[in-house]
Structure 1
Amino acid sequence: MSSSYFHGRNGSTDLASPSATSPSTSIGTAPRSSALSSRITSVLSASYADLDIRDALETLDKRGFQNTQESRRNLRLDLQQEVIQCNGEIVRDFGQVAQQLKRIGAVVDSLNKCCDDMRTHISASKREVGPVLEEANSLMQQKSQVESKQHILDAFKKHFVVSDTEIAILTSSSEPVNDDFFRVLVKVKKIHQDSEILLGNENERLGLEILEQSSKQLNSAFQKLYRWIQKEFKTLDLENPQISSSIRRSLRVLAERPALFQSCMDFFAEAREHTLSDCFFAALTGSATDSDAMPHSRPIEFQAHDPLRFVGDMLAWAHSATVSEREALEVLFIGEGDELAKGIQAGLDADIWSKGEGAEEAYDGRKALNELVGRDIAGVARLLRQRTEQVISSHEDATLAYKIANLIGFYKNTFGKLIGSEAAILEILDGLETYAQKQFRANMRDHVASVQAELSIAPADLSAPDFLLDALETLKTLIKSYGTSLAAADEDSDAFDPVFTEALDPFLKACETLEKKMVAPHGDIFAINCLLTTKTALTPFPFAAEKITAMDDSRADHIVKLTTYQYNFFLKSSGLEPLVTTLATLENISTIPSLPLFQENSLIRISQTLDDFLPSAHMDAMDNIKKLQSPQLTRDITEAAAERFCEDFEMVEEKLLEADDLIDGREEDGDGEVMEERIRMRDMFPRTGGEIRVLLT
């Protein structure tokens, strides 16, 4: 399309030329018009969005193309000229490349020749050096084997061989027990343990020799450690309790030999028992049997004049010493965790002779601590028992003996919580408590016997006698002492019942003996007053509830007797007793009018007696029991008796009314005639039950 375009532009077919419209072409006008329209159509139908056309236009724009006739005419030639020039430059460049390739080919041929020569030399050298390399490899393998054996030998010597210096550190008594000793000991124990591995290999003889040698060294080391600990125990001061770390470490290690460890503990317990006994003796008397014992500036024997305080000071000293001893030794048994338990268990597992004796009980550090502390204070406990028994037996005061028993019981519980229930001191304290209680009962019985021998008569006002008041004061003192003991914490405890039996019941029985010698109602009033006084003294104490209940039951019996006495007083004083007695047993009401007691004179006389009695009846009855210490109880008893009297009066009243009604029914004959008029019994006995109740309440 471009060729035809340039051809049309340069030729005679230019649409703008005059010849295109000349008459000479008129004949061909139609074809040319058709060609023109085709050209226009093709131009208009061309897509200028085509990439080739767009690239061509961009190229023209970059070359600065001017749309002139001359430039359009020379455009094809210019382009062809540029293409020819570019092709010429390419040909020249490829010529230079060809020359370089020739040079490279020559160099490559030279290198190939050099490589062939080197390959030839290498093959020759390999044939010559081959035997030497084989020999060198063999020597290297032999060297590696020798080095491996050397390493094994060095490791064996380092692990299984103990030097003479280390043996001296481990077994020589002149060498101290320090970190080096424990380091070597750990090493030897490791050797002893690992030597068992050699027994399973082909080197069984070597394993046996190492095992035997290490066993001897370990035995010597533990013997040295055992002697060193005993030596340290002799100079150990627990009064200022600080056990050195070296002793604690030594004991943990020695625990692997349970026999030696137990022997060491026995030695320590014996030494501490002797030391604490001397200290306790010095605290008591101010002088010590041992010059090393701790001095005491104020002896307990001179300071405590009161026997109870003396016993309390001794117990307090023993408790304080026990606490100090336990705190000092707790660092050893508890502060180090379960190291001792592990060591002892390891020793038991290693001892083949103890395995056949059955399962061993697991080591308990707290239990061992309690046992050791208990053994340390055993001497103090024996001296304490001796002095306390002397105090108890040398005094006849029952209250003192009971206070001492409670004090000992308190410390017994305290020691039990502190060092366990199996300590020897608990058995001694239990024996002292039993002895004090026995002495208390003996002293009380002696006192009761002396009181019973001096019994005379009750006080004139029927109040509690002096010996009962003294006994109640003593009982209060005993109760206060009991309140300080741990047994009082349980309100339902019957621990105080033996005290009631010894310190109260005999005096109540003595009061009962006096009461039986009195006439009514004085005996019952005296008994009630004694019981009320006793109840008032015991009410503040909860553990006396059961005793108070028993006394209430006894008091209720006496109240019933007093009520009956008052009731009988009402009956006799009012003159109503014959009527009540007769009517209570009478079965036929119709016979009442015929009885002598219910005749006019008799009923009028009884009625008059009743009228005379009623105005002051209540006051007179109150006067009978006015010596009762409880006004309320006096009123209650009198009112109860008056109620019974009123009920009896209402019964008499009812019987008389029934008899009158029965007689009235019989007085009319069959003809309706009325018999001679008579006086009714109700008229002769006019008082009513309501009036009686008003007058007696």
Structure 2
Amino acid sequence: MVSDTKAVKGENVAKKEPPNSNPLSRKINKILETRLENDKDTVDALKELSTFFTDNTLRSRRNLRGEIEKRSVGISEEFVTALRDVKKAVDDIHQEVSAMNEVCVDMKSRLQATKSETRHLIHQTTSLQNQSNKLHMQETVAEAFVRCFQLTPDEVAIIKGSSRESPITPEFFTVLDKTQKIRSNTKFLLQTGHQKTALDVMEQMNVCREAGLERLYRWCQGQCRSPDPSPLLTQALAALQERPVLFNLVVEEWVVVRRGWLVRGFLDALTIGGPGGAPRPIELQAHDPLRYVGDMLAWVHQALPSEREAAQSLFAKCSNLDPTEQTRSTVASVSESVCRPLRTRIEQMIVTDQRREGGKKPVMLYKISNLLRFYHNTILQVTDAGLLVATLDELHQLSYKMFISALQSQVSHVSERIEPPGETLAPTPGVARTLSLLTEVVTAATVADDAQHDFKQGQIDAQLDTLSQEQINGVCHSMGVATMYPLITNPPTTPLSQHPSCQPLAIQAFMTKLDGFLAAPDHLMLPHTRLLLSSSFRRSLQQRTAEAVCTVYKQLHDIVHDPTHAYTDPSSLLPRDPETVKTLLS
């Protein structure tokens, strides 16, 4: 084929025809000018041709056209066969689509019919659904309202009780507090304009609360009568504070019951005694008025703390009152029950002692008076000024008047028989008896703290101060510190060791006498200090003397150890420190 092309080209060149004069020439030139490497279709065609054109001969070249046409026919037949299958598949799809279209049309028509028929039902369903949602919301609101403004049936049963004998439990107070909370919450209903609902709720809660408080009141009365009341009684009484009438009735019941127990216990202590006979009955001491009165008052005084503890526990949670004042008032009311038997027996002892003969009659009355005054002041610290305190005060006044009357009578009787002193000027028997009576009266004054007010305390203190000063001066003079004292209190500017009164030898002599005083402090006491009958006065005098000695020793110790006073080896002069001396004297 290439050689033929060259031959044709040669012929055209030989003829030397003008360019573009022959259409075939133009086509050939165009073909010759075409660059095959840039023509993709031609390159692909040549590649396809190479698959079956393998023998480049003249015959093969002559049959090439037919071969190509033959292959083209074969390809067309294959295409027709494939297209026939595609057509068949498309026809099948068309049939299915047509059937599906018929079904869809049928379904659409049926759907339209159904929609037209169910439109009312759908509308009704939607309306019911909206109504259901609204009702659900209303139910939620109603449940919340019930929780906030209503009691459950179980709570109503708890607060009202299934019967009159139903016990009070901790749950009762929880429900009672809830009723109060609901009553407080009704103000929000009033603010939102629900006046009728708020009033209805308030009325319901008032009914439930009144029933609960009435039941609580009955339960409290029963607990007040019980010897072992429930721990919930304190909380119950606190809840009854909003009803002052019920609260006061419960307190009165408590007082009445405790009065009965207290007076029975007092009478048993008087006549029966303790369990097993110990302690013995107080009535057995009736022959000894002082012990008899003292035992009765001691029993009352010991019984009041238990009553106070019980009352404190009763009012512990009451917030609308002062628990301390209420406790004192309640104890005072409970203690009234022992006033009558106590007054009767003590008055009997006072009158009986008044009729007795003998020198100790006024002394016994004075001791009883002091005893009554002591317990009067002691019991007044536990209770208010009630009937018991008034009774003790009246008995004290009675016994004191009887004492003064008996003392005047006995002194007048003795004064009528006073004899002049003898040659020895010794006291006559009448004077001795009078002084003995006075001594017993003064000694008996120590029974009660306030009994000292019966005497002129200012004179006693003045005399005691004078005696103390004399005792201190005597001790300082005996120990040789009297001449040192002015220099010790006001040291001069010159060294004190050079002063004759404060030389080391004088200080050594003082230390020797101080050791003797520490070994036997009573040795340097003035003789007339031993005539003091009161042990407290003697102790006060000894204490004042010891304090004065300690003060002097500390001042001297500081001066001796001060380098400005030029004492050599101060530790050997005063070996003891002031604290040691204070300990030894104490």
Q: TM-score range by the shorter chain?
A: 0.5 to 0.7
Aligned to 1:311: 293
Give a deviation string over 1:308-333, Cα, whole Å, max 9, x none: 00000000000011112112332233
| CA shift in 2, pair 1:443/1:463, >3 Å | same
Contact 1:169 1:175 in 2 (8 A): no
Q: Does 1:366 align with 2:324?
A: yes
Amino acid at match of 1:374: A
Q: Does 1:253 align with 2:239?
A: yes
Q: For 1:165 and 1:275, how far apart are their aligned partners in 2?
A: 39
Q: For 2:403 and 2:536, how far apart are their aligned partners in 1?
A: 21
Contact 1:326 1:369 in 2 (8 A): yes
Alignment coverage as a number of residue pairs: 346
| CA shift in 2, pair 1:282/1:376, >3 Å | same
Q: Does 1:274 align with 2:260?
A: yes
The within-5 A match list for 1:490-529 is: 494-496=453-455
TM-score, with normalisation over the residues of structure 1? 0.45
Aligned to 2:37: none
TM-score, with normalisation over the residues of structure 2? 0.53
Q: Shift in Å at residue 137 of structure 1?
A: 10
SS at match of 2:421: coil
Aligned to 1:415: 379
Aligned to 1:41: none
Aligned to 1:152: 141
SS at match of 1:175: coil
The within-5 A match list for 1:446-457 is: 446-457=409-420
Aligned to 1:464: 427
Contact 2:255 2:330 in 1 (8 A): yes
SS at match of 2:381: helix
Q: Shift in Å at residue 208 of structure 1?
A: 1.0
Aligned to 2:363: 399
Aligned to 1:321: 303
Q: For 2:278 and 2:209, how far apart are their aligned partners in 1?
A: 46
Structure 2 gaps of 5+ residues are 1-111, 113-118, 355-360, 460-527, 539-586
Amino acid at match of 2:244: P
SS at match of 1:298: coil
Give a deviation string over 1:553-591, Cα, whole Å, max 9, x none: xxxxxxxxxxxxxxxxxxxxxxxxxxxxxxxxxxxxxxx
Amino acid at match of 1:264: V
Q: For 1:174 and 1:275, how far apart are their aligned partners in 2?
A: 25
Q: For 1:323 and 1:417, how far apart are their aligned partners in 2?
A: 11
RMSD of Structure 2 on Structure 1 (CA): 3.7
Q: Shift in Å at residue 411 of structure 1?
A: 0.8
From 375, 390, 395, the equivalent of 1:432 is 395
Contact 2:417 2:430 in 1 (8 A): no
Structure 1: 4+ residue segments shifted above 4 A:
133-145, 293-297, 535-543
From 197, 200, 204, the equivalent of 1:206 is 197
The within-5 A match list for 1:191-230 is: 191-230=182-221
Amino acid at match of 1:298: R
Q: For 1:398 and 1:475, how far apart are their aligned partners in 2?
A: 10
| CA shift in 2, pair 1:163/1:136, >3 Å | closer
Aligned to 2:318: 340
Amino acid at match of 1:244: S
| CA shift in 2, pair 1:202/1:295, >3 Å | farther
SS at match of 2:454: coil
Contact 1:279 1:295 in 2 (8 A): no
The within-5 A match list for 1:18-97 is: none
Q: Shift in Å at residue 394 of structure 1?
A: 0.7
The within-5 A match list for 1:609-628 is: none
The within-5 A match list for 1:161-176 is: 161-171=150-160, 172-176=163-167
Contact 2:367 2:447 in 1 (8 A): no
Q: For 2:156 and 2:410, how far apart are their aligned partners in 1?
A: 78
SS at match of 1:459: coil
Q: For 1:446 and 1:417, how far apart are their aligned partners in 2?
A: 36
| CA shift in 2, pair 1:182/1:157, >3 Å | same
Give a deviation string over 1:273-317, Cα, whole Å, max 9, x none: 1221111111112299xxxx9997621011453110000000000
Q: For 1:287 and 1:410, how far apart are their aligned partners in 2?
A: 25
Q: Shift in Å at residue 468 of structure 1?
A: 2.7
From 258, 272, 281, the equivalent of 1:299 is 281
Contact 1:177 1:228 in 2 (8 A): yes
Contact 2:374 2:449 in 1 (8 A): yes
| CA shift in 2, pair 1:302/1:411, >3 Å | same
Q: Shift in Å at residue 400 of structure 1?
A: 0.5
Give a deviation string over 1:238-272, Cα, whole Å, max 9, x none: xxxxx532222222222232221111111110111
Q: Shift in Å at residue 161 of structure 1?
A: 2.4
Contact 1:283 1:295 in 2 (8 A): no
Contact 1:196 1:211 in 2 (8 A): no
Q: For 1:374 and 1:296, how far apart are their aligned partners in 2?
A: 28
Give a deviation string over 1:42-70, Cα, whole Å, max 9, x none: xxxxxxxxxxxxxxxxxxxxxxxxxxxxx
Give a deviation string over 1:57-105, Cα, whole Å, max 9, x none: xxxxxxxxxxxxxxxxxxxxxxxxxxxxxxxxxxxxxxxxxxxxxxxxx
Aligned to 1:184: 175
Q: Shift in Å at residue 142 of structure 1?
A: 6.2
Aligned to 1:234: 225
Q: Does 1:389 align with 2:347?
A: yes
Amino acid at match of 2:170: D
Q: For 2:303 and 2:273, how far apart are their aligned partners in 1?
A: 18
Q: Shift in Å at residue 144 of structure 1?
A: 5.2
| CA shift in 2, pair 1:494/1:311, >3 Å | closer
Amino acid at match of 1:261: F
Amino acid at match of 1:399: V
Q: Shift in Å at residue 140 of structure 1?
A: 7.9
Q: For 1:309 and 1:451, how far apart are their aligned partners in 2?
A: 28
SS at match of 2:408: helix
Q: Shift in Å at residue 188 of structure 1?
A: 1.9
Amino acid at match of 2:369: A
Q: For 1:294 and 1:266, how far apart are their aligned partners in 2?
A: 34
Structure 1 gaps of 5+ residues are 1-127, 238-242, 346-362, 501-532, 544-697
SS at match of 2:225: helix
Give a deviation string over 1:385-404, Cα, whole Å, max 9, x none: 11111101111311001000
Give a deviation string over 1:435-485, Cα, whole Å, max 9, x none: 110000110111012112222322331123322322222222222221231
| CA shift in 2, pair 1:539/1:146, >3 Å | closer
